[in-house]
Amino acid sequence: MKPVLLLIVLSTISSGLSVTCSVAAELQDGEVSAAELATDNVTAARDLFVQSLKATGRDRLAGLKKSFEQLEVAAAESDQLPPALTMWGRLLLAAGDQRSGLRALQQATTAHSDGPDAYVSLGNLAVRRGQLAEARLCYNEADRLIAIWSETHPRRTSLLAQVAAGRASVAQARIALLASTEQREMTDHYHAVALANLREWVSLAADDPVAHQRLAEAMIAAGDVDQAIAAFDNARKLDASLPLTEFRLAKALLRQGDRSQALMQVHQAVAQHSDSANVRLTAADLLLSLGEIESAEEQISAVQTQDADNTAAKLLQAQSERFRGDWQAAADILQTLHTHHPANVEVANMLALTLSEVDSPEAQKRALALATVNAERFDQLESVAGRRARITLVWTTFAAGQPQAAKRSFAELLKAGIASNQVSGDEAYYASRLLVEFGRPELAAPLLGSVLARVDAFPKRAACDDLLKQLQ
């Protein structure tokens, strides 16, 4: 390992990886290419990385150093792979350590100034953080560097596809920001930009089911349902594990506000696959999003008749109880799930918010304890998970009768920002309540407006509407 790279890696490690073992054991592959996953040295590096996070002191340091060295070997042996420092940054991001991952990728742009790989990953990270102007600049720089390469470069096509996908994401994020405005001309412009880039992505990565799926969803937004169905079908041909075309179409139609057509697609899927528990559970989830509580409960009951302990069915049952306002019943179900799946962050977060609605000091105390653990686990407010965990922590602190502590913690969250497209509808409601309580109603109104512009149902939707009316 070159001294400069060793220094970079050691500085990353010494900054402290805020990743728990349970999170590290479930590294996501979203930032890792197929070429990387097919390489033995990269696989070995990932395994070492995970094991090292479970160690302490010198053992941890030695393991992480060896993990990076494995990436160096892999990069040296194959020009299909990006530089080791870029792969290192992606590993850190996959483990949830955005601060260290960002630092590594920034260093990669200096250490490998002629390489576009790090700029693509930086663009993807910027999109997730809502930094759209920065993302656009990163993708433009990656595109410029790719143009210098020979057309036969082994990573050229893959990176061009990633740039097209990233630019489409930027355009679609801008569409979401314009949703509550009357700027139709700008919205149409970004729809066209998104479609053009998604078509480019499909042309460069015709065997990528995600590309076809994203194109289909954009076609729904553009009103081209027939072409969307064809694109959804193409995605499922490439990956049979994807949900049925009817479900994907229903979700896309729901986002466009066509509730009746979405509902028809859901019932059609169930009628054709009534023996499938997965189909019924997916239908139940969509029916809850449509506000069809009784129909959703019918699908949940049908699954539980065959499998009383089905985890997904229990989670959906808890959500249906939340829709009905029976917070104690929902909390009882979620507590059972949390006992059996303590590492499931979504369950813990939902349980904390649900308990905060139960009129009991014991429930409030339990909610705060759960939220505290989650917030410690995801303590970086730069990440979406960190901001969501902090909203829950601040709300449960406030609900537990500790307004001053809640206000101090909320001030840190406000500096990081709260984007409506990065939180659930319920979380947006609680954040808005806190904004009002702490004297920032001018920030609450647009947040509520953005959430209510969505067409999907959520338990606190009526409360959001009432709060917005009070502020107007």
What pLDDT digit, counting tens, does each position of 300-315 carry? 999 999 999 899 999 9
The pLDDT of residue 39 is 61
Q: Please check whether residue 315 is in contact with residue 288, taking contact to mean a CB–CB distance below 8 angstroms.
A: no
The pLDDT of residue 442 is 92
Rounded CA Rg of the chain: 23
Say if residue 23's pLDDT is above 50. Answer: no
The pLDDT of residue 362 is 94
Could you tell me if 58 and 102 lie in one domain?
yes
Could you tell me if 229 and 205 lie in one domain?
yes
Q: How many CB atoms lie within 10 A of CB 379?
A: 13
Could you tell me if 125 and 93 lie in one domain?
no
469 found inside a domain:
no
The pLDDT of residue 34 is 52
Could you tell me if 108 and 120 lie in one domain?
no
pLDDT in tens, 69-98: 888 888 888 888 889 889 888 888 877 777
Say if residue 222's pLDDT is above 50. Answer: yes
Say if residue 447's pLDDT is above 70. Answer: yes
Tell me the C-alpha to C-alpha distance, in Å, between residue 467 and each of 140, 360, 365, 439, 446: 42, 24, 26, 14, 12
| Of the listed ranges 102-116, 174-188, 328-342, 431-445, the one predicted with least confidence | 174-188
348 found inside a domain:
no
Say if residue 415's pLDDT is above 60. Answer: yes
Say if residue 136's pLDDT is above 80. Answer: yes
Could you tell me if 45 and 8 lie in one domain?
yes
Domain boundary among 205, 221, 242: 242
Could you tell me if 223 and 297 lie in one domain?
no
Say if residue 21's pLDDT is above 50. Answer: no
| Of the listed ranges 181-185, 193-197, 317-321, 465-469, the one predicted with least confidence | 181-185
Could you tell me if 102 and 180 lie in one domain?
no
Confidence of residue 18 (pLDDT cuts 50, 70, 90): very low
Could you tell me if 221 and 103 lie in one domain?
no
Mapping DSSP to helix (H, G, I), strand (E, B) and coil, where does residue 343 land? Answer: coil
Confidence of residue 22 (pLDDT cuts 50, 70, 90): very low
Say if residue 414's pLDDT is above 90. Answer: no
Say if residue 156's pLDDT is above 90. Answer: yes
The pLDDT of residue 253 is 79
Say if residue 17's pLDDT is above 50. Answer: no
226 found inside a domain:
yes
Domain boundary among 223, 242, 261: 242
Q: How many CB atoms lie within 10 A of CB 265?
A: 23
438 found inside a domain:
no
Could you tell me if 85 and 126 lie in one domain?
no
470 found inside a domain:
no
pLDDT in tens, 32-74: 555 554 567 777 777 777 777 677 777 777 887 888 888 888 8
Give the C-alpha separation, 2 to 251, whole Å: 50
435 found inside a domain:
no
Say if residue 146's pLDDT is above 60. Answer: yes
Q: Please check whether residue 41 is in contact with residue 75, taking contact to mean a CB–CB distance below 8 angstroms.
A: no
The pLDDT of residue 363 is 95
The pLDDT of residue 10 is 45
Global model pTM greater than 0.85: no
Q: Which residue has the higher pLDDT, 97 or 328?
A: 328
Could you tell me if 60 and 17 lie in one domain?
yes
Say if residue 2's pLDDT is above 80. Answer: no
Specify the DSSP class assigned to residue 307.
Answer: -
Domain boundary among 323, 340, 374: 323
Task: Over range 415-424, report the average pLDDT.
Answer: 77
| Of the listed ranges 179-193, 236-250, 437-451, the one predicted with least confidence | 236-250
Report the residue count for the chain.
Answer: 472
Q: Which residues of 60-90 are buried (b: 16+ CB within 10 A; e: fewer)?
A: bbebbbbbbbbbbbbbeeeebbbbbbbbbbb
309 found inside a domain:
yes
What is the CATH classification number for the domain harbouring 221?
1.25.40.10
Q: Please check whether residue 418 is in contact with residue 387, taking contact to mean a CB–CB distance below 8 angstroms.
A: yes
Q: Any residues with CB less than 8 A from the CB of 332 and at least 6 apart, and which?
A: none
123 found inside a domain:
yes
Say if residue 25's pLDDT is above 60. Answer: no
Q: Any residues with CB less than 8 A from the CB of 276 and at least 6 apart, and which?
A: none
CA 16 and chain centroid, separation: 23
| Of the listed ranges 194-208, 244-258, 299-313, 321-335, the one predicted with least confidence | 244-258
Could you tell me if 90 and 135 lie in one domain?
no
Counting residues of the chain whose pLDDT is more than 70, the rounded percentage is: 91
Q: Which residues of 29-52 are buried (b: 16+ CB within 10 A; e: fewer)?
A: eebbbebbeebebbebbbebbbbb
The pLDDT of residue 16 is 42
The pLDDT of residue 157 is 95
Name the amino acid, one letter, at 379: D
Residue 448's nearest CA partner among 459, 437, 427, 439 is: 427
Q: Domain containing 282: what range?
A: 250-323
Could you tell me if 123 and 235 lie in one domain?
yes
Average pLDDT, the chain: 85
Q: How many domains does the chain have?
A: 3
pLDDT in tens, 365-383: 999 999 999 888 887 777 7
